[in-house]
Amino acid sequence: MTAVLCVGVAVYDEIFALPAFPTRPTKIFASDFASAAGGPATNAAITIARQGGDAALWARIGNDMQGDRIVADLQRSKVDVSRVRRVEEARSGISAVGVTGDGERMLLVFADPNLDTDASWLPLDDIAAFDAVLADVRWPVASRAVLARARALGKPTVLDADLTSDPAALGALVPMASHVVFSEPALVQFAGEAGSVEERLRRVHDGGAHELVGVTMGDQGAFWVDGSGFHHEPAVSIRAVDTLAAGDVFHGAFALAVARGLPARDAMRFANVVAAVKCTRWGGGSTIPTAEEVDAFLARPPAALSPTKDFV
């Protein structure tokens, strides 16, 4: 079975379905609530496991109720949590996320400064057993160590290149990954405002030793540059009810496809579909689809699927 190592952050997400966002300090009643393990690497690992891959997560959490829940959610999806470290005297990361029907989000985020960032305990020799690595930018010291070893071993390395409170983290990690897939604002931050999406992607691709440099752009789909040029894979047409975790799911599915040796377009198409199915279901990371659920979605009448289009 294809095995993917995910390294990065594990948090606890609470999701409130709101009628509207507050614009001043007031009380807003939610029509629904869900909670689940979350964070980019965590959601990616759960996606990989639910899509039939072997997934392991290297992360750190607090020794608290939220940490218990993060581990339980990962185990329920059969993610290997033997290297999810519990840090004594620290609290797990937590996000309270307000979502409305239009896909916008308001997040209150707590990251405990006592959550030790040390990554020297990571068993880097174990990387040899994986087919690919996915890293996020939220625990940079660990992602750097893992990406460096994985590239030395010739493994595909996928970076979930999103914004953080520390722009330097993104800058240090991008050059280390064979496959870099940015969020739209992170691509602008890293590659600058100048030019088109294609020009930004080309600047990053041509500036480093990357197999592929891409960007996810929500309902516009994914764009990427690789050795054969600039490409576009449109998003799958769906009615989105909850876009929380959709980007993380995309990256997880993409990493699994890369680990399986799929060509770039097939990997992007697979990632688009898995992320789209996630968006049709309320509940953030608690409703990441299984392979069977994706198959059921794909068995819809073909007319309901949007066409692919290539900009090469």
Residue ranges binding a second copy (CB under 8 A): 14, 16, 18, 21-30, 32-33, 35, 65, 68-69, 91, 94, 96, 98, 100, 104-112, 165
Smallest gap from Cβ 12 to a second copy, in A, equals 10
- The answer to whether the CB of 156 falls within 8 A of the CB of 164 is no
Smallest gap from Cβ 265 to a second copy, in A, equals 32
- The answer to whether the CB of 52 falls within 8 A of the CB of 260 is no
CB nearer a second copy, residue 16 or residue 250: 16
- The answer to whether the CB of 244 falls within 8 A of the CB of 107 is no
What b/e sequence results for 87-105 when a residue is b if at least 16 CB atoms lie within 10 Å of its CB, and e otherwise? beebbbbbbebbbeeeeeb
Smallest gap from Cβ 28 to a second copy, in A, equals 6
CB nearer a second copy, residue 25 or residue 301: 25
CA dist 52 and 45 (Å) reads: 11
CB nearer a second copy, residue 17 or residue 187: 17
Smallest gap from Cβ 94 to a second copy, in A, equals 6
CB nearer a second copy, residue 185 or residue 195: 185
How is residue 80 annotated by DSSP? B
CB nearer a second copy, residue 53 or residue 284: 284
Query: Of 272, 296, 275, which is closest to residue 284 (Cα–Cα)?
Result: 275
Query: Phi, psi at residue 180, to the nearest 5°?
Result: -110, 125
Smallest gap from Cβ 68 to a second copy, in A, equals 8
